[in-house]
């Protein structure tokens, strides 16, 4: 009996270790990014991307825990093993692929310029010349604006919300951001409208948004690819998108 008890305890120990090992810390930007991710009044993280994380992890049979991390330190947190993956609307770019790997994309939308309805601003270098353009720090939008909109004054913000609020207040003329994220903003802000998409540059703007994982973490990468494929194929992504945007825009 003693030997049997020891075997049972050993088995339980292995099971507990395995369960703990399966917990995956998903890094999201600590800065609110509605309607993708933001804490509610109780401090729980909610939003389109949070529901997508839950759905992808469920389909991939992963025990995921949302872990807020400052955006400008989110990749170092991944490579330093403070988190296990990034799912924070991070575009798959050549530059980031030098440091981390990405799953297949779970969404992709154009990059747009948003400005006051009264301004005749085109989403081009000529249209933004002499204008003040707000972008979020450490994003593809900052990199793109600094390459293509050299005749504009580029003002960098820690969060997109700060840029949006300065645009409402008239302190900047326009902002550049993801079309899906700005759809929610322009719907609620009477001042502003989408002026159109910028010319695509996949090398900077990326090939869509995927889950970022550490180099060599093949098992986790394959699990995310399984989850992404499943939620797209079974209509889960469509249902979540319709909930937040009124229709399936992908």
Evaluate whether 79 touches 155 at the Cβ level (below 8 Å). Answer: no
Residue-level pLDDT, tens digit, the chain, 250 residues? 444 444 444 444 444 333 344 799 999 999 998 899 999 999 999 999 999 999 999 999 999 999 999 999 999 999 999 999 999 999 999 999 999 999 999 999 999 999 999 999 999 999 999 999 999 999 999 999 999 999 999 999 999 999 999 999 999 999 999 998 898 899 889 999 999 999 999 999 999 999 999 999 999 999 999 999 999 999 999 999 999 988 888 8
Query: Is the Cα torsion angle 120, 121, 123, 129 positive or negative in sign?
Result: positive
Tokens representing 93 are 């770019």
| Residues 6 or more apart whose Cβ sits within 8 Å of residue 82 | 25, 27, 67, 69
Q: What is the pTM of this model?
A: 0.79
């Amino acid at each position: 009996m003693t030997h049997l008890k020891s075997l049972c305890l050993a088995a339980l120990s292995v099971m507990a270790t395995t369960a703990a090992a399966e917990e995956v810390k998903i890094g999201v930007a600590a800065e609110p990014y509605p309607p993708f991710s933001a804490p509610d009044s109780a401090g729980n993280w909610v939003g389109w991307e949070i529901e997508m994380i839950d759905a992808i992890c469920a389909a991939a049979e992963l025990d995921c825990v949302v872990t807020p991390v400052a955006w400008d330190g989110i990749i170092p947190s991944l490579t330093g093993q403070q988190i296990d993956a990034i799912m924070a609307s991070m575009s798959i770019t050549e530059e980031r692929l030098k440091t981390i790997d990405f799953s297949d994309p779970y969404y992709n939308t154009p990059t747009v310029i948003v400005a006051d309805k009264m301004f005749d601003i085109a989403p081009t270098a000529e249209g933004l010349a002499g204008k003040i353009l707000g972008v979020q720090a450490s994003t593809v939008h900052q990199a793109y604006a600094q390459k293509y909109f050299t005749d504009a004054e580029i003002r960098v913000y820690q969060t997109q919300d700060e840029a949006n609020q300065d645009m409402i207040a008239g302190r900047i003329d326009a902002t550049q951001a993801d079309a899906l994220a700005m759809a929610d903003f322009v719907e609620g802000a009477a001042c502003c409208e989408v002026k159109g998409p910028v010319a695509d540059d996949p090398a900077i703007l990326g090939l869509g948004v995927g889950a970022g994982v550490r180099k060599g973490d093949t098992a986790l990468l394959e699990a995310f690819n399984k989850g992404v494929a499943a939620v797209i194929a079974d209509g889960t992504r469509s249902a979540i998108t319709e909930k937040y945007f009124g229709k399936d825009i992908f």
